Amino acid sequence: MTGGRVVVLGRTGRNFGAGMSGGIAYVLDVDGRFRSRLNTEMVAVEELDSDDREFLHDVVTRHRELTGSAVADRLLASWAPSVSRFRKVMPLDYKRVLNVMKQAAADGLNEDETMHMVMNSANV
């Protein structure tokens, strides 16, 4: 995955996140053991913020509407405890680039200046 977001509602195999350099994965920790299957060499687990919770609710709702998913239906029936079981997996390099881009925007930098800052951050 090089960008975008994915939501995983089932179990993952071991080594999840290996080679993940971009994008964000939201993984439902089905059995409470997701972290033991996570490869933390390139990614970290972050806390969900309000935007993440809203995104997840929208995606799970849409998934239920389109597929009739019983899993989505159960999650939505008790959303508050369900959303707390999601883990946000963020690639370390991707997060660094997003932070640089955010700072560049706050500083009013143009596209070339922003790209220069992004490239410099990749050499850390």
- Asked if the structure places residue 16 within a domain, the reply is yes
Q: What pTM was estimated for this model as a whole?
A: 0.81
- Asked if the structure places residue 116 within a domain, the reply is no
- Asked if the structure places residue 117 within a domain, the reply is no
pLDDT in tens, 16-70: 999 888 899 999 999 999 999 999 888 999 999 999 999 999 999 999 999 999 9
Kindly tell me if the per-residue pLDDT of 113 is higher than 80. no
- Asked if the structure places residue 9 within a domain, the reply is yes
What is the domain extent for residue 78?
Answer: 5-92
- Asked if the structure places residue 120 within a domain, the reply is no
- Asked if the structure places residue 59 within a domain, the reply is yes
Domains identified in the chain, total number: 1
DSSP string, the chain: --SSEEEE-S---TTBTTT--SSEEEEE-SSS-GGGGB-TTSEEEE---HHHHHHHHHHHHHHHHHH--HHHHHHHHTHHHHHTTEEEEEEHHHHHHHHHHHHHHHTT--HHHHHHHHHHHTT-
Place of tokens 């977001």: 5
- Asked if the structure places residue 112 within a domain, the reply is no
- Asked if the structure places residue 12 within a domain, the reply is yes
